[in-house]
Amino acid sequence: MLVTLNTTDDPTNQFMEEIVIIGNGISGVTAARHIRKNSDKRITIISSETRHFFSRTALMYIYMGHMKYEHTKPYEDYFWEKNRIDLKFGFVNSVNGKKKELIFSDGSNMFYDKLIIAVGSKSNKFGWPGQDTKGVQGLYSKQDLDNLEKYAPNNKECKRAVIVGGGLIGIELAEMLSTRNIPITFLVREDSFWNGVLPKGESEMLNRHIKKHHIDLRLGANLKEIRADVNGQVMSIVISETEEEIQCNLVGLTAGVTPNIDFLKDSGIDLGRGVKVNRYLETNIKDIYAIGDCAEQLEPMDNRRSIEAVWYTGRMMGETVAQTVCGNKLEYRPGHWFNSAKFFDIEYQTYGWVFSTKKKYEAHFHWKHYDDTKCITIAYHKDNNEFLGINTFGIRMRHEILNRWLTEKRSVDYVVKNLAEANFDPEFYTRFEPEILVAFNRQLVNG
Amino acid sequence: MNSMQRNMSLTGEPPKDINTTQKIAVLIGIVGLAIILLAGFNIDLPFKEAWFYSALAFITFGILLFAQGAYTNKQEGIKNNGIWFKSISSRGILAWIAGISLTGFYIVLYFYPNLLGLSSDGNNTGIISLFDPLSRILSGNAASQWFVYGTLYTIAIFAFGIKFIYKYRHNKYEQLRTGSVMFFQLGFAFLIPEFMARLNESSDYNLPYYDLKSIWPLNYYLFDEWSVNGLLTSGNVGLAMLIFGVLSIFVISPILTYKYGKRWYCSWVCGCGGLAETAGDSFRQLSSKKMSAWKIERWLIHTVLVFSIVMTTAMIYTYLGSDPNKFWLTKAVFLLSVVVILTLVFAVTMIFRKNELGKDARYGAIGYFVVIGLLLAMYFTGTTTDVFFINSGSLRSAYGLYIGSIFSGVVGTGFYPILGSRVWCRFGCPMAGILGFQQRMFSKFRITTNGGQCISCGNCSTYCEMGIDVRAYAQKGENIVRSSCVGCGICSAVCPRGVLKLENGPLENRIKGNEILLGNDIDLMKYVNRD
């Protein structure tokens, strides 16, 4: 529950300052919540997607019938009024940084004292012929979900779907469509699923898991073009490498996302691929900040990318910018990298850095269970054995412990020996630490 | 327009159908139920026994075949596809039909057993007579409506239990827990009481019906005069059972709840929980997660708890004597002991847990003084039959009718398909109230949240049968320590990011009040958590 606190700032200066946040995703909403926690400022969140905040990552479960839209809303609808956070449904056409003014698509306007841009991403389209045909879509927004329900409600309307792009959204879309028994062809540019991120052993295990779900997985396959029927409806796609034409009623474009910042073109805000921000999440224009998927760091930290389209980083940026906006100027300094995902039935977690193509200093220890649904990879420093990161599949790990080990710069030997301490699987689950330790010692002996 | 046609077409909907195997399974199950129903119309069937056993076999086989159709040829994992599209599990027309039929069944069972064919002279007719042969094998007596109910209840827990185990074949916690409720239902609730009835054939025994795992105050009739007299006139066995009954509420359950949380009872042992977790599994997502529902829950369950404590005390009070020379436990001694025990519980909680209680401390105090006030009133108005100037028997009947029958049966189970599977456990069960209090105040159990990994998707909250908004805690990085949590483990199972883990650990820092979100710079966390 949020509690309004007295701020230490000068009340005459801060009183009724209008904070406007564009975007009601995790970044914008987190910023709003923390600004409210620390101040009495007026807060408005603008969105043209949905009236209320919902969990974007849960969209897939609505299509799969696990949840309804209402269930994806983390706060009950009364929450916003109770915490004096105004919600405005509208689309911002342009931003005027000099006048501190927003112009909406309906011609109306609004003034702000401080503006936080948290507009998120849109699906990548790489200029494929036919990419704007009906039945071709990404999977990012609530509107994408509505479209999917329209073009792929079942396997009678949608006889086959083609998914282009082998990343996290692609495999989620595959899982979604497969729950309605829609035949799927999955085009992956790389020669193994997500191997730009995952080491070989893991990526190959996922290839097999995907095929077990009766997905027609095409590795090393690129999209050449999308063909439409006379109604302008998608009819088929053609694969570049083989010129093969595949009949389909839906094409999912899931080759990554890109910041959704077209409306800022003439705003004077410094743009790259995203909205350029310094470590304080400030743009080049005073009192305008950018957070979440759409922010592009001028100086990315250690191994991080300049744009991180990840739930957790969005949330952390929201927490950080709230401090700055409330007068406690703070750098965005995320701690150790972590992330997680689920590939059909296999859960994945990662802590620290494990690179698919090893860095010069990096060595890997890999263990895979014979049932082909569980494996781990531990990255460590070749010279001093320092633990650098871990990927786990089918085994849950305790964030707190691994975070601590990374901070303490533990050795890989320590991590493997104490792995049981970090296990987070439910009670009574079969444990694999002894087996992992044996495999680790064998690797040491055999080099 | 093409898109218009799409929306108009009949097939433009997500699939709601069940597959052919499941359809056949439903048919077989319905045949089984129909045989029992036919007996209800007193249709005189030849080979009655054969019909009876085939009916039970059809029902069981139908359920198992349905599970096979649902989960075979699928990879191990979460099987919630289409739950909100299917009529039965999303408050559709089938759910209402099922809910009304179940409610009707409970009304007949509790209030019109004659419609089931119950006859006081032992010559049952109709449905109950169909169950006579099995009852005679087990207890030697003719069946009663409770035997019919117990048999169907046990079959439901068994068949749906196997379905549940198959559904969660990747999850050992769920399998063991379900095996446990199946064992306790079959052994403790169904067979042992029947064998106790066998013992009663000897004149040395006069045992009442007693399901040993059913603890007071859930078992609200344990301390009724007839029950206590029955136990006291059944030699050492009866005495041992009575002592076990007292120990289980005052010693055994506090110790187990301290070590493992109330889940040891609610989702590993209890019959009500057993039915909710097996037959009720398809309805767990229907519980309300609203803050308003939580408020109703807290008032209702604690009101029932107060009612059950006062009612039981009043019952015992009226049948105890006043002369300490005859029996040491007199009316005055008994009432004083109740006051002392309640005061101890209240004092210990206030001394050690006042901070955790926060605003609720006031409600706790009100509850305490209401009970003490009622006990005093009891002392001044009590006679051998009356307390508060009303007949204590009518107090007991009112409890049995409104709480024991209507709340726990008609509403608690009959409304499964509408309100979710744990309505009784959440809003009514006084035993759950006591265990929940222990769990919240003095237990090692908690659901640990895994640092910053939560993506607020809402699967945990949706599938919490107790209506706990699990996500509200998980997304703040806060452990879940709620009195209502029965530890079913489903939130942890359905979490796609490995965020939740049921575990027993040290009491220290069990409830983390701060937003301890990992991944951030430590200085920031200092500010975020500042208050």
Q: What amino acid is encoded at A84 in this protein?
A: R
Say whether B450 and A428 touch across the interface (CB within 8 A): no
Say whether A58 and B457 touch across the interface (CB within 8 A): yes
| Separation between Cα atoms, residue B414 and residue A388, nearest integer Å | 56
Q: Strands A387-393 and A375-381, how do they pair? A: antiparallel
User: Does pLDDT of A447 surpass 60?
Assistant: no
Predicted TM-score (pTM) of the model is 0.93
Using CB atoms, which residue from B85, B171, B498 is nearest to A396?
Answer: B498
**Angle at the Cα of B278 from the Cα atoms of B277 and B282, rounded to 5 degrees:** 85
Interface subset of B 4-33, CB within 8 angstroms of A: 6-7, 9, 11-15
Nearest-CA residue of chain A relative to B290? A76
Q: Show residues of chain B in contact with A349, CB under 8 Å.
A: 453, 497-498
| Separation between Cα atoms, residue B403 and residue B424, nearest integer Å | 9
Nearest-CA residue of chain B relative to A339? B453
Say whether A74 and B456 touch across the interface (CB within 8 A): yes
Both tokens of A438, joined, read: 């044996």
Q: What amino acid is encoded at B9 in this protein?
A: S
User: Does pLDDT of A5 surpass 70?
Assistant: no
Using CB atoms, which residue from B12, B86, B497 is nearest to A153?
Answer: B12
Say whether A64 and B11 touch across the interface (CB within 8 A): no
What is the widest separation between alpha-carbon atoms in chain A? 72
pLDDT in tens, A332-356: 988 899 999 999 999 999 999 999 9
How many CB atoms neighbour CB A394 within 10 A?
24
| Average pLDDT of the segment spanning A382-398 | 97
Contact B98, B425 (CB under 8 A): no
Q: In a 3-state reduction of DSSP, which class is residue B495?
A: coil
| Separation between Cα atoms, residue B305 and residue B342, nearest integer Å | 13
Say whether B458 and A26 touch across the interface (CB within 8 A): no
Identify whether residues A25 and A64 lie together within a single domain: yes
Say whether B519 and A403 touch across the interface (CB within 8 A): yes
Buried (b) or exposed (e) across B255-268, using 16+ Cβ within 10 A? ebbbebbbbbbbbb
How close A179 comes to chain B (CA, Å)?
A: 7
Q: What amino acid is encoded at B209 in this protein?
A: Y
Q: Strands A362-368 and A375-381, how do they pair? A: antiparallel
Say whether B82 and A231 touch across the interface (CB within 8 A): no
pLDDT > 90 fraction of chain A, expressed in percent and rounded: 93
Identify whether residues A155 and A231 lie together within a single domain: yes
Say whether B527 and A330 touch across the interface (CB within 8 A): yes
| Separation between Cα atoms, residue A108 and residue B121, nearest integer Å | 83
User: H or E segment at A220?
Assistant: none
Contact B329, B320 (CB under 8 A): yes
**Angle at the Cα of B526 from the Cα atoms of B522 and B527, rounded to 5 degrees:** 120
Task: Walk along chain B (531 residues) in steps of 10 and give the mean pLDDT of each run.
Answer: 43 80 95 90 80 94 95 91 94 95 92 86 83 90 90 96 96 97 95 89 86 89 89 91 93 96 96 95 96 94 90 87 84 90 90 79 85 85 77 82 84 91 94 94 93 94 97 91 96 96 88 56 58 49
- Sign of the alpha-carbon torsion through B439, B442, B446, B452: positive
How close B501 comes to chain A (CA, Å)?
A: 6
**DSSP 8-state secondary structure symbol assigned to residue A334:** B
Identify whether residues A165 and A219 lie together within a single domain: yes
- Sign of the alpha-carbon torsion through A53, A57, A63, A66: negative
Residues 6 or more apart in contact with residue A179 via CB below 8 angstroms = A63, A64, A65, B81, B82
Interface subset of B 427-446, CB within 8 angstroms of A: none
pLDDT of residue A185: 98
Identify whether residues A441 and A344 lie together within a single domain: yes
- DSSP secondary structure string for all residues of B279-293: TTGGGGGGS---HHH
Helix, strand, coil percentages for chain A (3-state, nearest 5): 25, 30, 45
How close A243 comes to chain B (CA, Å)?
A: 29
Interface subset of A 55-74, CB within 8 angstroms of B: 55, 57-58, 61, 63-68, 71-74
Q: Show residues of chain A in contact with B503, CB under 8 Å.
A: 427
pLDDT of residue B49: 87
Nearest-CA residue of chain B relative to A60? B457
Contact status of B509 with chain A (Cβ, < 8 Å): no
- DSSP secondary structure string for all residues of A223-289: EEEEEE-TTSBEEEEEETTT--EEE-SEEEE-S-EEE--GGGTTS---BSSSEEE-TTSB-SSTTEE
| Average pLDDT of the segment spanning A116-122 | 97
- Asked whether the bond before B217 is cis by omega within 30 degrees of 0, the reply is yes
Contact status of B46 with chain A (Cβ, < 8 Å): no
Say whether A429 and B78 touch across the interface (CB within 8 A): no
Contact status of A3 with chain B (Cβ, < 8 Å): yes
Nearest-CA residue of chain A relative to B513? A1
A427 occurs within a structural domain? yes
User: H or E segment at A218?
Assistant: strand A216-219
Helix, strand, coil percentages for chain B (3-state, nearest 5): 65, 5, 35
Interface probe for A, chosen from B177, B180, B524 (most Cβ of A below 10 Å), is B524
A146 occurs within a structural domain? yes
Identify whether residues A271 and A348 lie together within a single domain: no
Q: Show residues of chain A in contact with B82, CB under 8 Å.
A: 64-65, 179
| Predicted-complex ipTM score | 0.93
Using CB atoms, which residue from A320, A424, A430 is nearest to B501?
Answer: A424
Say whether A150 and B7 touch across the interface (CB within 8 A): yes
Interface probe for B, chosen from A2, A424, A430 (most Cβ of B below 10 Å), is A424
Identify whether residues A46 and A141 lie together within a single domain: no
What order of strands is seen across the sheet that includes strand A92-96? A92-96, A101-104, A109-111
A399 occurs within a structural domain? yes
CATH placement of domain B444-528: 3.30.70.20
Identify whether residues A155 and A83 lie together within a single domain: no
| Ranges for all domains in chain B classified under CATH 3.30.70.20 | 444-528
Using CB atoms, which residue from A396, A399, A428 is nearest to B518?
Answer: A399
Q: Show residues of chain A in contact with B171, CB under 8 Å.
A: 426, 429
Contact A277, A264 (CB under 8 A): no
Nearest-CA residue of chain A relative to B498? A396
Contact B135, B141 (CB under 8 A): yes
| Separation between Cα atoms, residue B489 and residue B476, nearest integer Å | 20
| Separation between Cα atoms, residue B215 and residue B194, nearest integer Å | 18
The label of the residue with tokens 């110790």 reads: B255
Burial class (CB in 10 A: 0-12, 13-18, 19+), A311: buried
Give the number of beta-carbon pairs within 8 Å between A and B.
197
Burial class (CB in 10 A: 0-12, 13-18, 19+), B467: buried
| Separation between Cα atoms, residue B144 and residue B122, nearest integer Å | 9
| Separation between Cα atoms, residue B495 and residue B447, nearest integer Å | 13
How close A24 comes to chain B (CA, Å)?
A: 14
Nearest-CA residue of chain A relative to B469? A74
| Separation between Cα atoms, residue B175 and residue A311, nearest integer Å | 33
How close B393 comes to chain A (CA, Å)?
A: 45
Residue ending a domain, among A207, A235, A255, is A255
Residue ending a domain, among A227, A255, A283, is A255
| Separation between Cα atoms, residue B298 and residue B29, nearest integer Å | 38
Q: Which of A305, A213, A169 is nearest to B73 (CA)?
A: A213
| Average pLDDT of the segment spanning A299-324 | 92
| Separation between Cα atoms, residue A254 and residue A252, nearest integer Å | 6
Both tokens of A195, joined, read: 């191997």
| Average pLDDT of the segment spanning A291-311 | 93
pLDDT of residue B139: 87
| Separation between Cα atoms, residue B8 and residue A150, nearest integer Å | 11
CATH number, position A65: 3.50.50.60
Contact B237, B199 (CB under 8 A): yes
| Average pLDDT of the segment spanning A142-150 | 96
Backbone angles phi, psi at A391, to 5 degrees: -110, 135
How many CB atoms neighbour CB A153 within 10 A?
21
Q: Which of B461, B484, B473 is nearest to B510 (CA)?
A: B473
| Strand ranges (E), A283-419 | 288-290, 295-297, 338-343, 346-352, 362-368, 375-381, 387-393
CATH number, position A434: 3.30.390.30
A438 occurs within a structural domain? yes
Q: What amino acid is encoded at B501 in this protein?
A: K
Identify whether residues A223 and A246 lie together within a single domain: yes
How close B489 comes to chain A (CA, Å)?
A: 8
- Sign of the alpha-carbon torsion through A212, A213, A218, A219: negative
Q: In a 3-state reduction of DSSP, which class is residue A186?
A: strand
Burial class (CB in 10 A: 0-12, 13-18, 19+), B203: exposed
pLDDT of residue A1: 41
pLDDT of residue B507: 85
A280 occurs within a structural domain? yes
| Separation between Cα atoms, residue A77 and residue A99, nearest integer Å | 33
How close A25 comes to chain B (CA, Å)?
A: 11
Q: Show residues of chain A in contact with B76, CB under 8 Å.
A: 345
A104 occurs within a structural domain? yes
| Separation between Cα atoms, residue A60 and residue A177, nearest integer Å | 9
Q: Which domain holds residue A36?
A: 11-122+258-325
Identify whether residues A144 and A108 lie together within a single domain: no
Nearest-CA residue of chain B relative to A233? B2
Identify whether residues A379 and A344 lie together within a single domain: yes
If one counts the domains in chain A, the total is 3
**DSSP 8-state secondary structure symbol assigned to residue A69:** G
HEC string of B349-403? HHHHHHHHHCCHHHHHHHHHHHHHHHHHHHHHHCCCCEECCEEHHHHHHHHHHHH
Contact B193, B206 (CB under 8 A): no
Contact status of B172 with chain A (Cβ, < 8 Å): yes
CA dihedral A408, B519, A194, A308 (to 10 degrees): -130
Both tokens of B403, joined, read: 């709480």
Residue ending a domain, among A226, A255, A284, is A255
Identify whether residues A205 and A223 lie together within a single domain: yes
Q: Show residues of chain B in contact with A336, CB under 8 Å.
A: 519
pLDDT of residue B4: 42
**DSSP 8-state secondary structure symbol assigned to residue A217:** E
The label of the residue with tokens 């206030």 reads: B350
Interface subset of B 51-110, CB within 8 angstroms of A: 75-78, 80-86
| Average pLDDT of the segment spanning A207-214 | 96
Contact A353, A380 (CB under 8 A): no
User: Does pLDDT of A400 surpass 50?
Assistant: yes
